[in-house]
Amino acid sequence: MSAETTAATGDWRAEWQPVVDAVGRDFADGETVWGADPVERGAIRRYLEPLEFDCALHTGPEAARAAGFADVTMPYTGVIAWTIPAAWNPGETLFDSADRDAQPVRTAINNQDMGLGPKTTGFFGTDIEVDFVRPVVAGERIGRRGRRLLSCKPKETAVGRGAFMTWESEVVTEESEVVARIRIGTYAYVPKEPEENES
């Protein structure tokens, strides 16, 4: 369906068809996006503090070594935090608007780099599922390899018109060892215009 036909019929869902047709494609072509920093003991400690998560495998090198690990282990729940690249770097502007619902200029979870489908300005994560292969230990650097689209379901919601998508990546070490597999759900959408107050 052409853009002119879509506009004439108001069938906004048709704009998502190229994305639906791309289900199964790896949008990262197998490349790895590395976390901003290696996993290190101090960061694990700071991660544990607000949770009061007391486990000797995460806090005691001797206990971790006795269990067969080279160093303290990263809590499984930290896998996302240590695979996200830096959102901001010195000299950059992450938010270029002071509006109440301003979105960052770039983020690791939106669909701005797809090159398919309609342009969206709103996005958020909806769900996450992780299969763990083994714990990550202090000193390792991890990243997400690949970005395979598993599903795309166009839907209008209270916040706008868009599509729910599910993406899958492998979590790997610098030696290319797979330590986990992640599936992340997102909703990319065009926000609804605010309704004008009736007088």
pLDDT at res. 5: 43
Residues ≥6 apart with Cβ < 8 Å to 41: 61, 71, 72, 138
Is 143 in the same domain as 61?
A: no
Query: Is 199 part of any domain?
Result: no
Would you give per-residue pLDDT tens digits along the chain (199 residues)? Answer: 444 444 444 689 999 999 999 999 999 999 999 999 999 999 999 999 999 989 999 999 999 999 999 999 999 999 989 999 988 889 988 888 899 888 788 776 555 567 889 988 888 899 999 999 999 999 999 999 999 999 999 999 999 999 999 999 999 999 999 999 999 999 999 999 877 444 4
pLDDT at res. 86: 86
Torsion angle in degrees (nearest 10) through CA of 91, 97, 98, 104: -70
CATH number at 146 reads: 3.10.129
Spatial contact of 80 and 125, defined as CB atoms under 8 Å apart: no
CA 166 to CA 136: how far, in whole Å? 25
Is 142 in the same domain as 170?
A: yes
Is 107 in the same domain as 47?
A: no
Residues ≥6 apart with Cβ < 8 Å to 49: none
Query: Is 197 part of any domain?
Result: no
CA 21 to CA 17: how far, in whole Å? 6
Is 183 in the same domain as 131?
A: yes
Q: How many domains does the chain have?
A: 2
Is 109 in the same domain as 147?
A: yes
**Parallel/antiparallel/unpaired status of strands 178-191 and 142-156:** unpaired
Is 31 in the same domain as 45?
A: no
Spatial contact of 183 and 156, defined as CB atoms under 8 Å apart: no
Q: Which of 48, 73, 98 marks a domain boundary? A: 73
Residue 89's domain comprises: 3-35+81-191
The Cβ-side half-sphere exposure at 182, using a 13 Å CA radius, reads: 26
Query: Is 100 part of any domain?
Result: yes
pLDDT at res. 112: 57
